Amino acid sequence: MSTFIINTDTCNNNIDNNEENEKEPFHLLSLPIDVMIIILIKFLTLKELGILDSAYCNKKKRDKVLSMLSSNQFIIYDHLCFSKPFRSINNLMIWIGKRKIQVLNLSIVDDHNNNLTDDGILGLSKHCSYLQSLNFSRCKRITDSSMIEIGSSCIHLQSLDISHCNNVTDISMIEIGRNCIHLQSLDISHCNNVTDISMIEIGRNCIHLISLDISHCNNVTDISMIEIGRNCIHLISLNFNGCDYITDISLIDVVRSCTHIESLNMCVCDQITDTSMIEISRSCKFLKRLHISGCRNITDTSMIEIGINCIQLESLDVYGCTNITDISMIEIGRNCIHLISFNISGCQNITDTGMIEIGRNCIHLQSLNISRCYKISNTSMIEIGRNCIHLVSLDIGGCNKITDISMIEIGRNCIHLQRLYINGCNYVTDNSIIEIGRNCIHLESFNISWCRKITDTGMIEIGRNCIRLISLNIYRCNKITDVSMIEISRNCIHLQSLYIGRCNKITDVSKKLFRCLVGYG
């Protein structure tokens, strides 16, 4: 029925006792009970219920209102969401709880003022037993005290997100694991005090888990992950990014049992090797997202298998995997033709040979990051420009072998680009920037820092046509002057971030036009 609503629990103290005894005109409470229930369910928002509560606070019939609110099991709000800090959040939670207004899905995110505390959650959870989804991400004042109550009262929970809630420990998570057996989605990322002790309980009891995020939970090891693998066979998404003590031993168990996994994130897991990756390729035929950035022990041996078997892949991130070369990239390019997002940043052993296969076959690509792949040149980028026309994001930062020859191809064909980073591409000139400016009119983020051959000629085209620009970085572009910057200021009215450091020909004439920006420097 409602989303984010602020309730003002004010009372009208000016009504004297004599007024209370007078006969009241026709009002909501004059209606038959079944009609009132329909009105409450179908037409009143949570805010209006609060006003109704307040309106009768000094009248005799308030008791009837409160009785109806608290005893009517049909007043249920599908989704209550607080996406911005709300100072009185605890009072609202307590009010909802006392009135026994059922909320199925509650989301309180980005509480950087730390307004939500155990008091609010306790006030809500003791009465709202039908809660199915809770998101308390980054609510850092939440402790075991309230989470124990959640575990014992909200046994219908299907989704729980307490990521970055560092005060939550095994004490409450054991309660969650034992009672919330209908859990399908659990996110405890960055909860450093959660260990194998509670995760074993989760694994044994929450057998309906579909999504599990334990990223950066450094106290979770193979011991509990083996339990997860044995019982949670319906897992579709698993994220253990940065979990230093999870190894091939448990991962092999997980993927052998959870054969329907579609998403795996194990970035920066140094103990994951080709051994488990080969098992992933053989067992997880439905894999769509594989993120293994920073896994230095993964080589072509397993990535060839991934390319041959995991042909449903849509997102692949191998950032910093320096042991991966063209040998496996050729297999990826030839078979994984559904790729939408591809990140090989820092993979310095990948050359045009592998990227040509990507460019020719992966024509659905929307995001491509090949920054710091120093061996990639125009040869493969021309293929990218001609075939990958759905690109929305392209990062070729630091690729010094890429010049106007391929960038003109990008500018003419990849007209949906919103994010383009060509920083450090020293041989890119106005010739390609003009094409980009004239055709890529949806650009929102543009980084040409250290591109010293770009002048006002190219940037004027950017200013005239790319009016949706939000972020612009021209650091060390010494040939850009006030002339093009004035054009930018006139047309790019949505600009929020501008970095013009070390641009010696840009003077106070244009600088003063941008000083009000949030990200100016």
- Going from the C-alpha of 253 to that of each of 202, 230, 233, 276, 301, the distances in angstroms are 16, 7, 10, 9, 20
pLDDT grade for 102, boundaries at 50, 70 and 90: confident
Got the DSSP string for 319-348? TT-TT--HHHHHHHHHH-TT--EEE-TT-T
Q: What tens digit of pLDDT does each residue of 241-269 get?
A: 999 999 999 999 999 999 999 999 999 99
Angle between helical axes of 274-283 and 248-257 (0-180°, round to 10):
0
In terms of DSSP bridges, do strands 497-499 and 133-135 run parallel, antiparallel, or are they unpaired? unpaired
Structure confidence at residue 210 (pLDDT): 98
Output 77 or 28, whichever has higher pLDDT: 77
| Displacement of CA 340 from its chain's centroid (Å) | 17
* Mean pLDDT across 279-301: 98
Q: What gap in Å lies between CA 234 and CA 256, rounded to an integer? A: 12
E strand segments, 235-302: 237-239, 263-265, 289-291
* Mean pLDDT across 34-45: 59
Structure confidence at residue 167 (pLDDT): 96
Q: What tens digit of pLDDT does each residue of 205-253 get?
A: 999 999 999 999 999 999 999 999 999 999 999 999 999 999 999 999 9
Got the DSSP string for 160-192? EE-TT-TT--HHHHHHHHHH-TT--EEE-TT-T
pTM listed for this prediction: 0.88
* Mean pLDDT across 63-91: 70
Q: In this structure, are residues 491 and 467 in contact, taking their beta carbons and an 8 Å threshold?
A: yes
* Mean pLDDT across 310-325: 98
Structure confidence at residue 50 (pLDDT): 66
Indicate whether 196 pLDDT > 50: yes
